[in-house]
Amino acid sequence: MEEKNLYQLAEFVLPSDILHYFSIVKIEPDSSLLRIYLDEKMEKELSEDLHFESQGFMDAVEVTDFPIRDHKVILVLRRRRWIDTRTGKSFSLPLQIDITASGTRYS
């Protein structure tokens, strides 16, 4: 029950639908900054297809989000890198969400 409540709270605080694509892997709070680390979830269809392999993650990208309780919030996002074993080309999946909300700033 507690885990479900925490998930609901995270869904409310984080950008819309982000938890459908990413998992929270770490949270680093300090006196004025909150860093939330998120890794892209494994895509089930690709992971089950023999022609595609997950090759770890691309470099993390930092996105400034709305402040929470007077703390600047930085989302640290890592996207999965996939490789098509037939062609050797690497790619990442397109996201169907807008991670950056207009008007996000900390003053």
The answer to whether the CB of 43 falls within 8 A of the CB of 21 is: no
Start-to-end Cα distance in the chain: 36
Domain total in the chain: 1
Segment 20-66, tens digit of pLDDT: 999 999 999 999 999 999 999 988 888 888 889 889 999 999 999 98
Domain assignment present for 105:
no
Domain assignment present for 107:
no
The mean per-residue pLDDT over the stretch 63-92 comes to 93
Domain that holds residue 19: 2-91
Look-up of token digits 């050797």: 88
Domain assignment present for 66:
yes
**Residue 106 pLDDT greater than 50, yes or no:** no
Q: Which amino acid is at 77?
A: L
Domain assignment present for 17:
yes
Look-up of token digits 């690497």: 90
* CA dihedral over 46, 62, 14, 38, signed as positive or negative: positive
Domain assignment present for 74:
yes
Domain assignment present for 57:
yes
